[in-house]
Chain A
Amino acid sequence: MKLSPLKTKKYIHNALKDEKLLSAVDKATQTALKKREDKKDQIPYWEELRYKAHHIKKNVIENLDKYLEEFEKNCLKNGIHLHWALDAEEARQIILKLLRDKNAKTVVKSKSLTTEEFHLNDFLTKNGIETLETDLGEYIVQLMDQIPSHLTAPALHLSRKEIGGIFHKKLGIKYTEDPTELMTIARNKLREKFLTADVGISGVNFAIADSGAVCVVENEANARLTVGVPKTHIAVMGIEKLLPGFEELATFLKLLGPSATGQKATVYVNIIGGPLFNKLQEGPEEMHIVLMDNGRSKILADPQLRETLFCIRCGACLNICPIYQQIGGHAYGWVYMGPIGITLIPQYLGDKEGKYSPFVSSLCGACYEICPVRINIPHHLLKLRNRVVDKGYSMKVERFGINAWAFLAKRPLLYRFATWFPGKFQLLLPKGRAFPVPGYTRERALGTFDLKGFRKRFLKLKNSDYQDIKQKK
């Protein structure tokens, strides 16, 4: 499945016509929001906790070099092999080499959005290594040859009928759409893989600098099996995932569960600080961490936009977004979707490829209101829109219109004159929507343009009315 954020307009158009998609996404997001609300209400210090988390992340991001060095030192102490990857290509090559060294034939993978950034599954498959997603949702989208449509619920856009259909087709089983049966089929299929896979590849939710450990949070136990059963564990993370210590981790665990899935706590919190085979006589003999930059240090260099590196990928901003709720994740055209996605797309892929993305928002700010780490998404979108414009990627017509309008807006007499002839000057109108605007007026009636306008009416009515009102009182 090849998507591009440049086609987002077309994707949105198509998604809006897809009734099935709409009902699936709507139901899923509303359920998640209700559950979140319920759990959040049981934490009376929720708002304070958001501030705290924001503050913790701010400190980490502003001192990222120190935390990275501390993390590296402690990982080495724990016998973890650390690999630094500048970009996607290097990350792919590091992982491939590790797998070749281990002579790996089968890899089990637990959810990692970071590896989606560099299409690891396709890459490994092409190199002859069987790579299986093990989170049920990820497994489903892998069978469908799609990418996840949500940060925490990858198959949220699919109905059980579609899932039953693909299981029937790809796994050669009798058709069923019973969710429990489908889970059991996936479980049995993957259990065998867990027990025989050579390597497990996981993502990382948080990395603990002062201990050299990573934390992987999940519900299905697939991550537990991925990091705990095969002989080699490779964890892939972006350099922004660090936290100073475990005390800070507690704050984030408190926020993550309710925000992501409406749970007070996820079923498993795996904290892994090195391979333990020598102690336990079970599990990994080797542990590797791939620390990937892939554009993050560039994001860090922006004094404002670096706040987007605070993201913990909970998906709450997707659930609350009135746009995401109606179009799902694929319409955004990249692995990160929804409000946080459209801040990340131009930052990771460049302002040219991401030139439409920051505009896929009404700037309503519901995402900021719900974000557990208080990322001011609407303000960042405005900044990114400005970047697109300043780099010259906005439409020429628009630029001309804005310049003409700005010329007039500095000259009140001309401005009044221009707006007095709305018919002739409609393109120059501020918020020029009093007259037919492509798309806008198809489903919406127009307001009536008042030729006198407020100014004239006000100046006329001034004296007489003033007395009236005073008398009334």
Chain B
Amino acid sequence: MNSSRDKILNAVKEAVKIPSRIPEKPEGINAKIAESLKSITPKDYAGLRDQFAKELDIVSGEFVLVKSASELVSHLSGDMKSKNFTSLAVSDEISSKNIASHIKKELPELEFVFPADLAPEQKKNKLAKTSAALVNIDFAVADVASLAVLIDNTKSLFIHYLPDCIYVVVKPEQILANLFELFTKVPKEKAKNMLLITGPSRTADIEKILILGAHGPRRLVVYWLEEK
């Protein structure tokens, strides 16, 4: 243990012995928050989904409700075609790979990039040059339109922020009402490596003018997949 550590900790230990002169909070705060949260949270799944869609729109994300995987494939292929995208990175999950195999049929020219197949040293450069990515997430938070990615396995993380356009597939069972629920639900062992994404990257550093696509993705498209 180095001496600075001990010096700092000792100074802190000495300091905290002095009782604070800071007012206490009023009683019943947590109950009031819980009650208020309950009153503004949509009551059912459809309500949460619609809230997510509305909030996503506010943060300039795109919401597409699809009723089947094939509808998703055709919409996504059409979108890529209209944007003249030449490459698509596909996340490591089987479901993404399945969707990708169907997209391949629609867009035979398209180059597919699978992060797991890339050598570590070429991964970042390759993904940075890929037009778009097809990704999965773990949770969708309705009241702020945030997408939660738990980084607890071997799935690529680059894929969420190096390409220019991110297509996210979300399933109904992934919806959560708010951030409080998210952090209660996810055990701390998993929460400690997590990425929350809310819309495409942005800046307002020049005269407060909003620009989408700062250092990260310029577009974020959420496919809300409601399969029967």
* Residues of A in contact with B (beta carbons under 8 Å apart): 24, 27-28, 31-32, 44-45, 48-49, 51-52, 54-55, 58, 61-65, 68-69, 78, 84-86, 90, 134-137, 140, 153-156, 158-160, 163, 179-180, 182-183, 187, 190-191, 194-195, 208, 210-213, 219-222, 224-225, 228-229, 239, 245-247, 249-251, 253-254, 257, 261, 263-274, 276-277, 279-283, 291, 293, 297-298, 300-304, 306-307
Contact = CB atoms under 8 A, between A and B. Distances in A.
Contact of B128 (A31, A78, A191): A191
A228 B158 contact: yes
A61 B12 CA distance: 9
Contacts of B207: 24, 27-28, 159-160, 179
Given A31-B208, A229-B124, A55 B25 contact: yes
A153 B204 CA distance: 8
Contact of B193 (A32, A156, A274): A274
A282 B12 contact: no
Contacts of A222: 214-216
A272 B7 CA distance: 27
B6 to A, nearest CB: 9
Contact of A65 (B12, B186, B188): B12
B206 A182 contact: yes
Interface stretch (B36-44, B65-73, B80-88, B167-175): B36-44
B205 A153 contact: yes
Given A32-B208, A69-B9, 17 more contacts: A28-B208, A44-B36, A45-B32, A45-B33, A140-B206, A155-B206, A191-B215, A245-B188, A264-B143, A268-B216, A276-B157, A279-B153, A280-B156, A282-B156, A291-B8, A297-B15, A306-B22
A52 B153 CA distance: 34
Contacts of B59: 263-265, 267
A136 B183 CA distance: 30
Nearest to A69: B9
A219 B201 contact: yes
A208 B186 CA distance: 14
A265 B156 CA distance: 24
A190 B215 contact: yes
B184 A247 contact: yes
9 closest Cβ pairs, A-B complex:
A221-B216, A273-B192, A220-B214, A137-B205, A45-B36, A297-B11, A269-B196, A300-B15, A265-B144
A253 B179 contact: yes
**Could you say which of A163, A190, A267 has the most chain B C-beta atoms within 10 Å of its C-beta?**
A267
Contacts of B124: 195, 229, 282
Contact of A219 (B14, B22, B153, B203): B203
Interface string B26-59: 1001101100110110000000000000010011
Contact of A179 (B146, B195, B198, B209): B209
B179 A254 contact: yes
A314 to B, nearest CB: 15
Contact of B183 (A155, A158, A250, A282): A250
A246 B12 contact: no
Contacts of B14: 301
A291 to B, nearest CB: 8
Contact of A195 (B11, B128, B208, B209): B128
Nearest to A285: B120
A135 B151 CA distance: 24
Given A45-B33, A68-B9, A136-B206, A63 B16 contact: yes
A306 B21 CA distance: 9
A68 B16 CA distance: 12
A212 B191 CA distance: 11
Contacts of A300: 11-12, 15-16
21 contacts: A28-B208, A48-B33, A51-B25, A52-B30, A68-B12, A140-B206, A155-B206, A213-B191, A220-B202, A221-B216, A221-B217, A246-B188, A264-B144, A265-B59, A265-B145, A265-B146, A267-B216, A269-B195, A277-B120, A283-B158, A302-B18
A268 B209 CA distance: 19
Contacts of A261: 204
A90 B22 contact: no
B192 A264 contact: no
Contacts of A187: 213-215
Nearest to A310: B22
B215 A84 contact: no
Contacts of B11: 293, 297-298, 300-301
A260 to B, nearest CB: 11
B179 A250 contact: yes
